[in-house]
Amino acid sequence: MKKGEEGFEGLPSKLGVIVRNIDNEKIRGFRWFQEKALNIVDKCLYDYAILYIDESIIIIAAFIDFIVKSLNADERKSRYYFPLIIRKNMLSNDYLISYEGDNFTAYIYDAVDDIEYIRCMDRILLEGKNIDFVSGAKLVPHRLLTYDIYNSERLNNKSSNSLTLLKKNEIIKTFRRMVHGLNPDLEMTYMLRKSGFSNVQDIRGYFLYVDSDNNIYTISMIAEYIDNIADMWQYTQDYLKDFLVKYKGNKIDLSYIYENCNDYLKEVKEMSLMIANMHIRLSAVKDKNFGVAEPKESDIDNLSNEIITNLNLLFNYIKCGIYDSEVNDMVKKISTNKEFLLKKISNIKQYMPNFGKYIRCHGDLHLEQILKTNYGYVLIDFEGEPTKSICERSKHLSPLKDVAGMIRSFNYAAYSAYFEYKDSLPNKGYDIKNVENLLSIWADVVTNIFIDNYINTIKSVTPDLIPDVEHFDAIIALYKLDKALFEAIYEVNNRPTWFKIPLKGIIECIEGLKNKRVDVEEAYYG
């Protein structure tokens, strides 16, 4: 930016101009910015507070309104929390914008990864003092633990004394999109930990933006850093890659899966046990926002309306598409069952007495949300579906929504491994179709083990939490269908080569709604 006359410490008064001049392409480069495909018309500073200032750095908590224009020329506003740090000296060349002052050049950076911002937030939490914004709003710190979270490691040394490495074992999670209410990730993680469920992070504290009308917005939380081997999506991809390397074109049957994947099948049982125990704990939480609720007609209507809307949207997409013979056969099979699906979904209320209970759930559960550690597993990211409001994400849901998310994730993991194998490995001299069949059987085996173990765990403690055996397959099929339709719409528009994955899932849901849950033994042994 051009030269200004004010001194370095007067730069906050120019923040509105500075924000407006940040390059839009730099904004689009941030993963957290959700309107990448839209045209950024303008950027406006909504509110800010000075967290720290001296002669060389200024740390600012800022909220910025991004005015974006959609393809149909409609304009809308998205508000983001955007902490900034202004430095007199260039720390690195990834600054957002520079500002020429009187005898100085200032460099403005995104602050979230800057150690000075981290120290500043840590100090604010420790002191427990509110910070005033220029609008009259406040940054309010809430400290849940009176101690820091550390880990320690004994160092090998030749000294006569013992040396132990002590490291602060915490992360700051920043919620960028400004959404009214207590973020479900914070609320769910805290309540689960409080209830004695140990497979989640510990939380040391969090920060709220409280406006002049006492509306609250969660901007960040300080939580335990989980030292992990990998998330279960990456772990599963690595596992399947090794599994396929060992495959020599052997005859494909169930015994091959059980003999060669027994260690992973044990992991599936442990994950299903953990998720079932999470649902049991959540059903027992005595809090006005938790506990058990009976599903209402409006809840069932919302589910059916969402499925029908996405089903019709999918048919609008596929009627104009040109596909290979395999995908075309899948499309025809789904089209043939369109009326059956619409009728079944329209009559979804017939299942209402058998839906089980509604509880607070993870809401967006898949393999990537599970961290594998040396001691078991940790569930993370309880935010729910990020495109929905906090009000929607905080609603009670059927626990089968989480179960369906895991089932679809196993299916995706199998096909992701298949595509990688197909694209990167040389021809081994046997039909690539055998590899696809092998992974399809693997997904079926894993799914059935997950479901059976989950059901058995729930039924042993809170049997009325989920549908009874007679109705389970049909109701889980509805939740899988809801998920698969969302996936299909995404894939047909963004990743057509993966379109067959959700199509296969939709066909499986049709079979489930016909009360024909595939029995793996029967399907592959006859």
What is the average pLDDT across 62-80?
88
Residues with Cβ < 8 Å from 25, sequence gap 6 or more?
none
Burial 360-380 (b: 16+ CB within 10 A, else e): bbbbbbbbbbbbbeeeebbbb
Same domain, 373 and 233: yes
What is the average pLDDT across 105-110?
96
Q: Quick one: pLDDT at residue 429?
A: 54
What is the average pLDDT across 370-386?
93
pLDDT, one tens digit per residue, over 10-35 is 999 999 999 999 999 999 999 899 88
How long is the chain? 526
Query: Is residue 26 a part of any domain in this protein?
Result: yes
Q: Where does the pLDDT of residue 215 fall: very low under 50, low under 70, confident under 90, or very high at 90 and above?
A: very high
Q: Where does the pLDDT of residue 522 fall: very low under 50, low under 70, confident under 90, or very high at 90 and above?
A: very low
Same domain, 472 and 424: no
Averaged confidence pLDDT in the chain: 90
Tokens of 37: 């495909």
Same domain, 193 and 273: no
Cα separations in angstroms, 165 against 162, 169, 204, 227: 10, 12, 21, 15
Query: Is residue 1 a part of any domain in this protein?
Result: no
Specify the DSSP class assigned to residue 271: H
What is the average pLDDT across 294-320?
89
The CA distance from 461 to 464, in Å, is 9
Residues with Cβ < 8 Å from 432, sequence gap 6 or more?
422
Prediction pTM value: 0.87
Cβ atoms of 93 and 73 within 8 Å: the answer is no
Examine the fold and report which residue of 89, 111, 133 is the final residue of a domain before the chain moves on.
Answer: 111
Burial 255-293 (b: 16+ CB within 10 A, else e): eebeeebeebbebbbebbbbbbbbbbbbbebeeeebbbe
What is the average pLDDT across 122-135?
96
Same domain, 266 and 386: yes
Q: Is 38 helix (H, G, I), strand (E, B) or coil?
A: coil
Examine the fold and report which residue of 432, 462, 492 is the final residue of a domain before the chain moves on.
Answer: 462
Cβ atoms of 20 and 42 within 8 Å: the answer is yes
Q: Quick one: pLDDT at residue 523?
A: 41
Residue 341: which of 469, 444, 477 has the closest Cα? 477
418: domain CATH number? 3.90.1200.10
Positive or negative CA dihedral for 441, 444, 446, 449? Answer: negative
Cα separations in angstroms, 109 against 59, 64, 85, 397: 10, 14, 5, 40
Query: Is residue 398 a part of any domain in this protein?
Result: yes
Q: Where does the pLDDT of residue 401 fall: very low under 50, low under 70, confident under 90, or very high at 90 and above?
A: very high
Same domain, 247 and 374: yes
Query: Is residue 239 a part of any domain in this protein?
Result: yes
The burial of 89, by beta-carbon neighbours within 10 Å (0-12 exposed, 13-18 middle, 19 or more buried), is given as exposed
Same domain, 159 and 147: yes
Range of the domain at 91: 8-111
Q: Quick one: pLDDT at residue 521?
A: 45
> What are residue 215's phi and psi, to 5 degrees?
-75, 140
Burial 31-60 (b: 16+ CB within 10 A, else e): eebbbeebebeebebbbbbbbbeeeebbbb
Query: Is residue 429 a part of any domain in this protein?
Result: yes
Same domain, 261 and 388: yes
Q: Quick one: pLDDT at residue 325?
A: 85
Residue 397: which of 358, 364, 348 has the closest Cα? 358
What is the average pLDDT across 452-462?
97
The CA distance from 322 to 310, in Å, is 20
Same domain, 367 and 238: yes
The burial of 200, by beta-carbon neighbours within 10 Å (0-12 exposed, 13-18 middle, 19 or more buried), is given as buried
In this predicted structure, which of 244-253, 278-287, 463-472 has the lowest mean pLDDT?
244-253
Same domain, 214 and 155: yes
CA 354 to chain centre: 29
pLDDT, one tens digit per residue, over 312-370 is 999 888 877 778 888 899 999 999 999 999 988 888 888 888 899 999 999 999 999 99
Same domain, 48 and 65: yes
Query: Is residue 2 a part of any domain in this protein?
Result: no
Domain count, the chain: 4
Instruction: Convert 318-342 into a string of H (helix), E (strand) and C (coil).
Output: HCCCCCCHHHHHHHHHHHHCHHHHH
Residue 355: which of 467, 523, 497 has the closest Cα? 467
Q: Quick one: pLDDT at residue 525?
A: 35
265 sits in which H/E element: helix 262-284
Examine the fold and report which residue of 413, 432, 462 is the final residue of a domain before the chain moves on.
Answer: 462
Same domain, 39 and 97: yes
Residue 472: which of 513, 506, 444, 442 has the closest Cα? 513
What is the average pLDDT across 389-407?
94
Query: Is residue 19 a part of any domain in this protein?
Result: yes
Same domain, 414 and 525: no
In this predicted structure, which of 4-13, 95-104, 275-284 has the lowest mean pLDDT?
4-13
Query: Is residue 323 a part of any domain in this protein?
Result: yes
Q: Where does the pLDDT of residue 102 fall: very low under 50, low under 70, confident under 90, or very high at 90 and above?
A: confident
pLDDT, one tens digit per residue, over 137-196 is 999 999 998 887 777 777 775 666 777 667 778 999 999 999 899 999 999 999 999 999
In this predicted structure, which of 30-44, 74-88, 268-282, 361-375 has the lowest mean pLDDT?
30-44
